Structure 1
Amino acid sequence: MTPLNLDGLTPVPATHVAAIVTSLEMRARPALPEPEPPPLPLDAIGADIARYRALFDRVGAPWLWFSRRRIDDAALAAILADPAVEALALTEGGRDIGLLELDARVPGEVEIAFFGLAPEAIGQGAGRRLMTEALRRAWSRPVRRVWVHTCTFDHPGAVAFYERSGFCAFARAIEVVPDPRLSGHLPRDAAPHVPVLA
């Protein structure tokens, strides 16, 4: 593989995709508004692998989310069964429209492992309410920090949204992986803002 050029372009094989991943953290509990009535309709997904996968795809396929697609059901079930992991569906009219997954497996930390809305729910205020609930749940534990990561495949407003929520960027990395649309992990038409080259 070609070594990373730290002052210029590094070629990426046509069979792969590359993203810049930004990690953001929060080291103190922010002032959170009181929950708006009615209560946010959040439903624990629990061990329902089919439901989790369907929601992960609805929320994530437009942004090239692939990590959960690359693991089998047994591995995913083990993650979701861990008492330190909380996977929740935001619902509306009996349909799942958002995903929130909190991961507290590292002592003293909570990672907002997955956070997102189905395309039709974006831009209507649900994301702000979901983030408020995510922070309320994360900081209800004895933790030193809450953190999240996003990448250049995600919604272009993601970093700004997290910063408005009180997170500060602390790290950046380049992720190069086989294109999940070529491997069959995602449909060929997923994430049209990221061209398929091969």
Structure 2
Amino acid sequence: MSSVTVTTWYLEQTSPADLVAAEGPPAEQGVRIVRSQVPSPEFSRFLYTAVGGDILWTDRLGWSFAQWAEHLGQPGVETWVAYERGTPAGFIELNPSPEGAVEIAYFGLLPAFRGRRIGGELLAYGIGRAWDLAERWPRREPTRRVWVHTCSDDGPHAMANYQRRGFRVYETTVTEEPQVAMPGPWPGAGPVAPAGA
């Protein structure tokens, strides 16, 4: 099996003041960001595969229903979903740790919604929710750090979006990883022109 060199960047914010707001999409696009409050393995797996299918998200593909349910049911794990006129456009998953750090475990848009200023707004909104997470989960430590990692396999605009939102790189690694085929969400899926365009 052939391998590929993957660069991974770890980024962080250490204060809510680090967050830089984004210019969101025009109001007529009808974008809303809503927390998915009822843990739903089916919905979360749909988001994971639909967003990550063309950027090599594979680590959760083998998870069982029970594994998804256990993960989503952990106190403080949150999924925030961007909708454009009622259609899921992307999501951000927050995963807190006991010492007051919150990881942006996953963030991204379905291919058809990329390049339309939804990503910056969703990321900024999600970072804000990472910083105020303890307000919704009173038994959690207040957030002292928000972090994320991205790699050279991710979308071409991911790193720039994180940096524009105020994240700073604190570590970089380079590894050789097995080359894998893109898993989907299914062959031929990809950007389509919005209705009326």
Which TM-score band applies after superposition, normalised by the shorter structure? 0.7 to 0.9
Match of 1:110 among 92, 102, 127: 102
Deviation at 1:32? 5.7
Counterpart residue type for residue 100 of structure 2: G
In 2: Cα distance, 1:173 partner to 1:34 partner: 28
Deviation digits for residues 128-167 of structure 1 (CA, Å, limit 9, x no counterpart): 1112211211111311110011000111221111111100
Answer yes or no: is the 8 Å Cα contact 2:11–2:148 preserved in 1.
Answer: yes
Deviation at 1:61? 0.9
In 2: Cα distance, 1:26 partner to 1:89 partner: 22
Question: Which residue pairs with 1:165 in the alignment?
Answer: 165
Q: Structure 2 regions of 5+ residues with no counterpart?
A: 135-141, 189-197
Question: Which residue pairs with 2:7 in the alignment?
Answer: 20
Counterpart residue type for residue 28 of structure 1: S
In 1: Cα distance, 2:175 partner to 2:85 partner: 37
Deviation at 1:175? 4.5
Question: Which residue pairs with 2:120 in the alignment?
Answer: 128
Answer yes or no: is the 8 Å Cα contact 1:85–1:105 preserved in 2.
Answer: no
Deviation digits for residues 9-41 of structure 1 (CA, Å, limit 9, x no counterpart): xxxx41x54421111000111266599777733
The answer to whether 1:99 aligns with 2:96 is: no
Question: Which residue pairs with 2:147 in the alignment?
Answer: 147
In 2: Cα distance, 1:61 partner to 1:136 partner: 27
**TM, length-normalised to structure 1:** 0.76
Answer yes or no: is the 8 Å Cα contact 2:150–2:158 preserved in 1.
Answer: yes
Match of 1:69 among 61, 68, 75: 61
5 Å-filtered alignment, 1:1-20, equals 13-14=1-2, 16-20=3-7
Change (3 A) 1:180 1:89: farther
Answer yes or no: is the 8 Å Cα contact 1:40–1:129 preserved in 2.
Answer: no
Question: Which residue pairs with 1:44 in the alignment?
Answer: 36
Answer yes or no: is the 8 Å Cα contact 2:13–2:146 preserved in 1.
Answer: yes
User: How big is the alpha-carbon RMSD for the aligned residues of Structure 1 and Structure 2?
Assistant: 2.8
Question: Which residue pairs with 1:10 in the alignment?
Answer: none
Deviation at 1:89? 2.0
Answer yes or no: is the 8 Å Cα contact 1:45–1:51 preserved in 2.
Answer: no
Question: Which residue pairs with 1:56 in the alignment?
Answer: 48
The answer to whether 1:85 aligns with 2:89 is: no
Percent of matched pairs sharing the same residue: 31
Q: Structure 1 regions of 5+ residues with no counterpart?
A: 1-12, 191-198
In structure 2, the residue corresponding to 1:75 is in which secondary structure? helix
Deviation at 1:57? 1.1
Change (3 A) 1:145 1:91: same
How many pairs were matched up? Answer: 175
